[in-house]
A and B are shown apart, each in its own frame.
Chain A
Amino acid sequence: PHAGPVESKNEAAMSELVPEPQQKPIVPMKPTGINASLLGYIGIDTIIEQMRKKTMKTGFDFNIMVVGQSGLGKSTLVNTLFKSQVSRKSSGWNREEKIPKTVEIKAIGHVIEEGGVKMKLTVIDTPGFGDQINNENCWEPIEKYINEQYEKFLKEEVNIARKKRIPDTRVHCCLYFISPTGHSLRPLDLEFMKHLSKVVNIIPVIAKADTMTLEEKTEFKQRVRKELEVNGIEFYPQKEFDEDLEDKTENDKIRQESMPFAVVGSDKEYQVNGKRVLGRKTPWGIIEVENLNHCEFALLRDFVIRTHLQDLKEVTHNIHYETYRAKRLNGNGGLPHMTIETEENHESNL
């Protein structure tokens, strides 16, 4: 029997329910690397210039922390590194001020410019470290500070309306000053580096190296390297972050021969052989800071500033920060609940 009008009503009802099949949105494709042969100059290599111009315009941030017992020449070394009065001691704090009872964190920012490149350099000093009778856990305020900078950055990154350029206060490099005893590392040194090498790039330096002869220096360095290896301390440049064979070869040489750098710092100039050089004057001669026969300051400077500055920042951002972020987003993963000290708190500390 003919169903007639009932059937068409059914069709109409169905089209109300079933939406028209929509085209699936295009999913991002995996790249198929096809090598296109070039027949003439396109100009894509100009991107290097474009990028360079852009970075010169935006400028750079660099945050360096110095850790070590007082009197090891930390401030002087930083001033020598950056050939200017950038450390805390030079910025108005009293030289005769007492050694603090606990570890304090003091950060000073300066802008320095060279060859059209503007850099905001922040030197973070840690007076009081290792100076107490009981130095247990004295690395904790330092670790806390470093994590707080990661937290600050994370908070900014996670905002809905984000700043065009998130201010970077994260510690890119931590110079750890080893006392030139000539024997071995102290337990405090090992404890500090063990804890902190996991959150920040640590570059160990042997301070006041003008108290050791060449043989003593070589032996001491070997012992220190051995001890660091035995204790599983990965200082910068870390083996696991070598990007390619070129990096590995270059960094292996530095890790196994040069580091830790035995340095001498000075901001005074003397005349040597008709040239003005930075140095320390002693009755037995002038120690030239930038003379590779006298100490390894120049190696440290070239390493930190002229070749690995950008890499220090990138390892901090791509690895240390990411590790922190992952831990944090996984629900506090063992990190103590923390509050960020705001600018208001800063004022009151003064």
Chain B
Amino acid sequence: IVFQGEGCRTVPLSGHVGFDSLPDQLVNKSVNHGFCFNILCVGETGLGKSTLMDTLFNTKFEGDPASHSQPGVQLKSSTYDLQESNVNLKLTIVSTVGFGDQINKEDSYKPIVEFIDAQFEAYLQEELKIKRVLHNYHDTRIHACLYFIAPTGHSLKSLDLVTMKKLDSKVNIIPIIAKSDAISKSELTKFKIKITSELVSNGVQIYQFPTDDESVAEINGTMNAHLPFAVIGSTEELKIGNKMMKARQYPWGTVQVENEVHCDFVKLREMLIRVNMEDLREQTHTRHYELYRRCKLEEMGFKDTDPDSKPFSLQETYEAKRNEFLGELQKKEEAMRQMFVQRVKEKEAELKEAEKELHEKFDRLKKLHQDEKKKLEDKKKSLDDEVNAFKQRKTAAELLQSQAQQAGGSQTLKRDKERKK
């Protein structure tokens, strides 16, 4: 096989060929196929996540507001089919439920990380299958994570920092300040600066809108400077002037959602949907997913530079290792079960011993008690005998005495008679 020049030279065309229709051909195929977009909303209960999604997509998604009494953090996922012109979008919105409500929030980030990883894992599994259908696969990987920051006006909460740090290598994070109508303009500027500096000093990597394509470089560059976006959500429409607009009415005035002076909602919509949706999907696939895949495979013991490994048997080796891993887990589980059974047996034996001892003790004491009782009874008996004997002697003695008196009396009479004689 002979190749000519890896650095191919450009040749001129002498006429119209027609492959400039290639992007259209590709786009048409994609349109026929449909698109997927998956958004994850992370934020404390009550920060307006559902309302913001409703506002962004001009519709009322189903669902009831969550309570504050969740025992742990859970993720709720719903998928919707949206259509606009000829574009069919499969939109999945995942929201945290109960985030920030627990007393101990150390593990709050875990379900979120697990969910994101589970989507990567599902894709990886499909990719590693022998018979796979990647081009028809419903991609559930999270393309954008909107992190809702509470409008305290001061700084980020430590929960926010910890969670974002755990997520920044797994997903594109776009931090937003929720319910920002609670903060005044001047406070907002200070708040944004504080948040940005805290993110930087803690090494949290948030998503940067791409500036390499000239057509969007300028707008993306400007928007990057406005992060985190201060948003307000509302699905209520109020008449302002002669138009119906999405707004929130307060006694002191009306906040218009789509007024860029009032909040950054329009900026968020522009960036998230109208300018960078495709880039978000691409970054998820080429950066975050690749990182997950690499780590997962390395964890399982694969190396690219292993001279013995035949690359194409990655699939078999992966399956084998996975089974091995699961087998080991099972063995461990068995071992633990055995140990548990063993310990229970031991404890049971101990208890039995103790019981036996107690019984013995009880028996001993009982015997002692019986012996004592017998002794006492014997003593009592002998005492009774003595008393009886004594009584007998007493009655005998009394009898003798009374006889003696009679005899003495008669003897006295006799002596008296003799005297008289």
Contacts and interface: CB of A to CB of B under 8 A. Distances in A.
B213 A57 contact: yes
Contacts of A29: 77, 79, 140
A54 B280 CA distance: 12
Given A44-B277, A160-B297, A83 B16 contact: yes
Contacts of B74: 23, 26
A42 interface: yes
Contacts of B78: 32, 34
Given A1-B355, A13-B343, A46-B274, A244 B32 contact: yes
B132, B311, B354, most chain A CB atoms within 10 A = B311
Interface stretch (A173-181, A253-261, A328-336): A328-336
B79 A51 contact: no
Interface in A96-126: 104-117, 119-120
Nearest to B336: A17
Interface in B69-94: 72, 74-75, 77-87, 89-90, 92
Given A115-B20, A329-B316, A341-B1, A159 B111 contact: no
Interface residues of B, number: 108
Nearest to B79: A31
Contacts of B135: 314, 318
Contacts of B339: 17
A55 interface: yes
A52 B23 contact: yes
Interface string B109-135: 001001101110010000000111011
Interface string B300-329: 001110000001111110000000000000
A305 interface: yes
Interface string A168-189: 0000000000000000000000
8 contacts: A44-B37, A47-B35, A50-B279, A86-B11, A117-B19, A158-B311, A162-B293, A330-B130
A293 interface: no
A35 interface: yes
B22 interface: yes
Interface stretch (B53-61, B198-206, B379-387, B406-414): B53-61
A35 B298 CA distance: 42
Interface of A: 1, 3, 6, 9-10, 13-14, 17-18, 23, 25-29, 31-48, 50-57, 60, 62, 81-86, 91-92, 104-117, 119-120, 145, 151, 154-155, 158-162, 164, 243-244, 278, 301-302, 305-311, 314, 318, 322, 325-326, 328-331, 341, 346, 349-350
Contact of B17 (A25, A36, A52, A82): A82
B312 A158 contact: yes
Contact of A329 (B2, B119, B130): B130
A253 B298 CA distance: 51
Contact of B13 (A25, A112, A160): A112
A235 B47 CA distance: 59
Contacts of A62: 19
Contact of A26 (B75, B276, B304): B75
Contacts of B115: 25-26
B420 interface: no
B18 interface: yes
A258 B19 CA distance: 21
Given A17-B343, A38-B58, A318-B135, A28 B118 contact: yes
Contacts of A23: 72, 74, 111
Contact of B3 (A31, A85, A107, A331): A107
Contact of A44 (B9, B82, B213, B354): B82
B2 A346 contact: yes
Contact of A33 (B79, B86, B312, B358): B79
B274 to A, nearest CB: 4
Contacts of B90: 31, 33
Contacts of B213: 53, 57
Nearest to B8: A109
Most buried by B among A31, A37, A117, A151: A31
A162 B74 CA distance: 33
A36 B30 CA distance: 21
Interface string B1-36: 111111011111111111111111111011110010
Contacts of A35: 80-81, 83
Given A26-B114, A83-B16, A306-B19, A45 B290 contact: no
B242 interface: no
B111 A26 contact: yes
B275 A112 contact: no
Contacts of B298: 160
A83 B20 contact: no
Contacts of A112: 10-11, 13, 17, 19
A83 B114 contact: no
A346 B1 CA distance: 6
A215 B232 CA distance: 73
